[in-house]
Structure 1
């Protein structure tokens, strides 16, 4: 993923967030990159810098209910099959 995003969450903060709950962390190989699903009809995708793939270049905002439904369904399937992380 992006180094700047990872750097924003250190181990202490991640541990505190999980401990405060309700929060669940899962690991999966079925989802790539970061995206945001908004109101079931809009998807924002992070775009990596082509010259520095570990850095954020921009965001792509797609307002398409069909695509948003596909992203939601794919995420739910990846979440259901993901490995639950009990300890950080």
Structure 2
């Protein structure tokens, strides 16, 4: 498994509409690349660990012709607003 990123966490921002309509949510993304010899159970275990401990969710997965997999994970960026 390798990670493709110039920044430590593969941070990317994407604005998507939420339930309120005009408000937008920001996400950070992490891209994971798995070689063709990675088993399905190994990939599942890595993704489960990211979901459980890092609060990542699956955004997209792609299986390439040679058997390599690329997986995009995302998690919501929570902005803390100053109250005083």
The structure with the larger Rg is 2
Higher RCO structure, 1 or 2 (CA under 8 Å, sep 6+): 1
Identify, as 1 or 2, the structure richer in helix: 1
Give TM class, smaller chain: 0.3 to 0.5
